[in-house]
Amino acid sequence: MEQAETFRRIAADFTARVDGVDPGGWDAEAPCDGWVARDVVRHLVEWVPWWVGEGTDHTVTVTADVDDDPAAAWTELRDQLQALLDRPEAAEETFESEMFGGAMPLGVALERFVTGDVLVHTWDLATATGQDQTIDAEFAAGMYEGMQPMDAMLRQSGHFGPRVDVADDADPVTKLIAFTGRTP
């Protein structure tokens, strides 16, 4: 259930940023090249349902239109993912995808790939919309350390831009954001 609680915490931070976007703020430029704030949500609600279906028999469907109501689209996704993680038997099911590291428990895969993505995109949405950029430092530290062995693969995949240089003694959030090619 630890993965369920971690997702709940990280998703709550993202939800707070979604709820904090002014009505006209969804078209604000985001740190991801060519994206606006709405595209941060769009990425999650389009990519994550595909990803879940790629590695499991579960179906995640978002019916809200991200262009009309990004908050509703995010809420649908969040609630379905939380429901999966809150069921211990689902979290223990096998997620299997060669593209995403082979076979592992679904809860582990969700935490590694989805919760981490939500964490970084919390920073993106906050940055785009002028909100508090604070994200979970403990999770960021673990994510940063876990991504180090995959550096070359992540760069080749196009998921991240070039690493941004920061001081060796930078805090974990700054290191993670810089690792993903964003300027902290």
**DSSP conformation letters of 46-93:** HHHHHHHHHHSS------S-TTT-HHHHHHHHHHHHHHHHHSHHHHHS
Tell me the backbone φ, ψ of residue 16, rounded to 5 degrees: -60, -40
Element (H, E) at 95: strand 94-97
3-state secondary structure of 10: helix
- On whether the CB atoms of residues 69 and 111 are closer than 8 A, the answer is no
3-state secondary structure of 96: strand
Cα–Cα distance measured from residue 181 to residue 162, given in angstroms and rounded to the nearest whole number: 5
121's tokens: 């995109």
User: Which among 115, 126, 105 has a CA at the least distance from the CA of 9?
Assistant: 115
Element (H, E) at 118: helix 116-129
Render each residue's pLDDT in the chain as its tens digit; 184 residues.
699 999 999 999 999 999 999 989 999 999 998 999 999 999 999 999 999 998 899 999 999 999 999 999 999 999 999 999 999 898 899 999 877 678 999 999 999 889 999 999 999 999 999 999 999 999 999 999 998 888 887 788 777 888 999 999 999 999 999 999 999 9
Cα–Cα distance measured from residue 62 to residue 74, given in angstroms and rounded to the nearest whole number: 8
Domains of the chain (ranges; CATH) run: 2-135 (1.20.120.450)
User: Which among 51, 71, 69 has a CA at the least distance from the CA of 60?
Assistant: 51
Cα–Cα distance measured from residue 67 to residue 56, given in angstroms and rounded to the nearest whole number: 28
Query: Which pLDDT belongs to residue 153?
Result: 79
Cα–Cα distance measured from residue 138 to residue 87, given in angstroms and rounded to the nearest whole number: 25
